[in-house]
Structures are given as structure tokens and as C-alpha cells.
């Protein structure tokens, strides 16, 4: 599957309607983004069950702001609507594939339980 351009109009539905979504926040003037783009495209072709989205931070400043994107490229991985990975910088192919494997191995019930517990603790302190 080729990469998909994500905008404020299709971002939420893409996240909600797919089990796993990788998001690359990038900009046309960003040299590391240009260097990373071919790797991201190649990996997307090898994993047709995962949506590989791209957010142009220049055109989608609202989305970039919502996620607090401060440097690009920034990669984010959603699994079952939960952000399970976020990192700025360029990753090699092996790095992307490692993240995908780790994401697939996660017990999402446990992840949700951990998030719920964390939110309870934070709520009790405030």
C-alpha cells in the first residue's frame, strides 16, 4: 500500500477505521524528511495491513499543533486508536520494522489498563 496523505478532514476516520496507522509528520523544506521519504514508502509497500500516513505540517498546522509536533520528521504509531510510539528523527528500515514487530506483539488490553491506571493516579494527585 502506498502512503496516504492525512489531513484534518480524514485523520480521525483513518485512525478510527484501521487497526494500525503509522503517521509521518513532515514538510517539503525539511531535508531529513526528504531523505526518509523513500524508506517510508518502501516499508509501506511491505506491510499492506498497516496504513502509512503522511501529514504535511505546513498545510496541516492544526494537526501538527494538536499533537505538539516540535521537530520533523516525527513518527507516530497508533494501534487500536492508542498512540504507542512517537519519536522525532529519521529511522532506518530496520528501525521501522522493529517498531512494527514490537507494536504487533503488544497486549493492547494491558496497554489500556496501564493508561487507565495512570489517568487515575494523575487524577488523584490534582
- Which residues belong to the active site? 30, 33
Set of cell numbers at residue 51: 496504513
The CB-side HSE value for 35 (13 A sphere, CA atoms) comes to 9
Query: Which residue's C-alpha cell is 509501506?
Result: 44
* Of residues 77, 87, 88, the one with CA closest to residue 111: 77
Amino acid at each position: 500500500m502506498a502512503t496516504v496523505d492525512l489531513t484534518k478532514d480524514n485523520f480521525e476516520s483513518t485512525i478510527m477505521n484501521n487497526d494500525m496507522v503509522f503517521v509521518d509528520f513532515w514538510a517539503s523544506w525539511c531535508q531529513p524528511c526528504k531523505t526518509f521519504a523513500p524508506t517510508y514508502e518502501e516499508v509501506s509497500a511491505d506491510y499492506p495491513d498497516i496504513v502509512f500516513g503522511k501529514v504535511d505540517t505546513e498545510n496541516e498546522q492544526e494537526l501538527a499543533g494538536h499533537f505538539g509536533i516540535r521537530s520533523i520528521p516525527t513518527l507516530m504509531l497508533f494501534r487500536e486508536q492508542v498512540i504507542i510510539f512517537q519519536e522525532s528523527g529519521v529511522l532506518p528500515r530496520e528501525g521501522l520494522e522493529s517498531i512494527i514487530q514490537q507494536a504487533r506483539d503488544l497486549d493492547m488490553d494491558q496497554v489500556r489498563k496501564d493508561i487507565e491506571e495512570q489517568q487515575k493516579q494523575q487524577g488523584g494527585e490534582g
